[in-house]
Structure 1
Amino acid sequence: MRASRPRTISTSICTLKPSNGAMMDPMLLLVLMSCAIYRVTGTLNPSKIFYFVNQPKAFDEAQRHCRDAHTDLATLRDRAEVDELLALEDFTSTASAWIGLKKTSQSQWQWSLADQDFYKDGKTGYIQWGRSEPTNTPGEYCSVMDDQGNVRDTTCQTQRNFICYNGQNSNEEKHILVNDLKSWREAQSYCRQFHTDLASVRNPEENLQIQKLIPTGGVPYIGLYRDVFGWSDGDSSSFRNWDPYQPDGSGDCVAQRLQDPRLWVDETCSSPKPFFCYATVVFKQVLRLELGSDRDVNDPDVKATILQEIQQRLISQGVTESVQWRQQPDGNIFQARAQS
């Protein structure tokens, strides 16, 4: 199944016609746009559509298929997109399928909580590393915080206490020290089930808040981890849906399990599997303008001025997508209306 072509939605909007026949003043144009802008806002954002391809292929072959037929292998930015993906088919006879996540040659430290609304510019980069940290020793892909508020890298399998973040209720404590002993992945699953996620640290104030929870000599897990996986389409999403014991080094490519537990596993890239693709569908809105003027409105300078006013009005309403003229068969943009 191939992606649909971008859909164009035509709409009838209010018309403003200067009574004196003069070229439309920019302010009048803004009035015209205010009549139509509510019909544009929210319709221009691209939408993602997922496809399940039940043709067993190695990861690279699946990637080529998705890029030829759609956009790319599936990129997943949150749990809602995972649920949307899994709603496509009845997967009772299929164990797993490729998604677009694959091991890369570069690694980066990032937070378990992938909600971009949670962070402002620069907040994902705040880390109070301890001296000579991170060591980036092979196998040390997770992190702890000590009772001085310093962060260290460590192995992920050690059983430790951990600190969760609770963003669900503003009346409760935001950070919770959990005294159960778990691996990092098990701690992540616990925090996501009972709170929001493992703790993220966005600034010195939050670092101090978490530090105060740590008993003398304690080194609980926090939500920082070193990731060596990246999305096929280059998306920067840090969302991960790993099984608690994954990745275990079984392979460099990532598959979505299609039977419970419906989590992610790393597997050998050459293994033939069905796979998920996605396509981006862009919705367009057509604005119809009627101008009363004794000037040539098809003059390039006049057209550029009008288009600039439209673009500025859209930006003021939070719509950042580009606007362009639709050319008529005769090469012009505007057509003279026949006199009755």
Structure 2
Amino acid sequence: MEKVLLIIIALSGLSAVSSHAERQYHFVYEAKNMSEAQRYCREKHTDLATVDSMEVVELLNNMAGHNKQSAWIGLYHATGSWRWSLSDTSFYKPGETEFRRWWVGGPNNSSWKKCSIISSNDGNWDDLVCDILLSAVCCDVTGTNVTFVSTEGLMTWPEAQSYCREHHTDLASVRNQTENQQIVELLHERGDYWIGLYRDSWKWSDGSPSSFRYWREKEPNCRDPNVCVAADFYNSGKWEDLDCGVMKPFICYKKNVPVSMQVIKVRVPKPNSGVDLNDPAFLEEMLVQAKKNLRAQGLDDNIKLTWRKQPDGKVFQKEQNLRPNERNREETRMEKVLLIIIALSGLSAVSSHAERQYHFVYEAKSMPEAQRYCREKHTDLATVDSMEVVELLNNMAGQYKQSAWIGLNDDRVTWRWSLSDPSFYKLGETKFRRWHTGQPSSYESEQCTFMLNGAWFGDPCQKRNYLRAVCCDVTGTDATFVLINSTRTWPEAQSYCREHHTDLASVRNQTENQQIAGLIPSGVSYWIGLYKESWKWSDGSPFSFKYWAGGKPGLTGIKRVCVAAAFKESGRWFDYKCAEKKPFICYKNVPVSMQVIKVRVQKPNSGVDLNDPAFLEEMLVQAKKNLRAQGLDDNIKLTWRKQPDGKVFQKEQKKKDEL
């Protein structure tokens, strides 16, 4: 074992990655109250520890070791702090964030009532439990101007917040009595509606979003208003709430710790007979010994070593055996050809991550929050459209075995028009509906709309008893409606209308609804252009490639479903509620360059077939090594360009003066 490891360490083998990406945690065993601990951490490090994922929980448990005490982390209770979901300060004039329209005696500030509603009857507000199902009021904001929009489906407050942030700007903020009255006039149906005011009880000391929770059973349970949180390492780091004046050890963190990764190919010559280098126990022991060796060289414990597996699942591969004279001749022949190729900068050089570069983000967020982060920092949430991408993400995940959001989602709430040109619609016209009583139903299969006697009904888009359709011809904002009396499915009707007219009919108001109803014979059903999209990628890419886990997707009765890749299941997809908090994967569009160089090889050795596939492949391997030695990274792909006859190399025709 020692001999093998000496070779590996001498080559700086394995993969070395900091396991504390961005944050480095520090246990301080001097007992302090919460305020004193917070002050200490801010002076010596960054702040008290933010624990926002199971990865951090496991890390702290490993650091605690045999210490089975509890220690302060950065979470504390802040009672009575009402705030708006839309937090952009430029949207509010002085004092507007404090406008309230509570009913007499409200809010009662019960510990479980943390979200607010507006009554369409009188415009008064009340505080309610956040998981009640209600409709909501969203807002579209441009500068300081706002337009309010009511939702159709029933949602909890967190689901309403996610929905409004994806489809509009946010849940409605109400800055004054004028806006309060505008909302009341908007709400035609009587009842209560969610607005954006909520009470945020738990906060992190560093201001991070309060999302991840790891409470011990029957916690939190302290009724004292001055409550802070400690991680109990006798109970696997689970949390307990305590009076903030209690004296305890504590955990600080320091941010922006550099992260690096190095991947080195390891060659082990002539292993002892009977030694299976791919035995998992043997590989694990090698990692343990390697870590000890690195620690002896002065490297700290923020180093993670992993083996990178080959496509067949093994770590080590046996090299092809050649007799010494054959090996020397093979290497000499290969080196001579490659010197010519590299001197000419030959082959085709293409980024192997063409167009997309993927980024894991381990901060847990809901799907809409993750989408917004990816669009701000990169391009969008990850689109996974091939097995090549699946394998790439599995390799990047390494030892990470949780699930992470990708960009796939199923929007089962939002109805939209096939004709999507926004210039065709005046304000509010995309929201006009003329549903029949009890429509649309809750059946998930009913994602397209037909009109019957002037009323609208939801129906499966691939209805077996095909329907007729109403197309429209559009000029500017003027529309003419045309009946198509041959029967089709909804997608077929859409294709026909787009080919022969403008699109399936959009119905913007009651006048147009009456026009179409006047054209349609009584008792006959016709498709119109209103539909619900199903599975779609966040960046709008076509949805065709699928990599579902067994029995998935399986969620029913939920308005909107999002998808995460589970790396414990080789990156297969599972469907979840979009409001769940998870790590996520972004991608960024990167420039792609390609260079094609003609390669001339003069007078190859006799017996050398330059078009032998094995020979060409080995040339690519050696060329890649040469490029890497010159400082080029692994985002380079080398390929041969074949001629029309399928060969790479062609014998040049000699010119007459050379004969």
- TM (norm. structure 1) is 0.46
**Could you say which structure has the larger radius of gyration?**
2
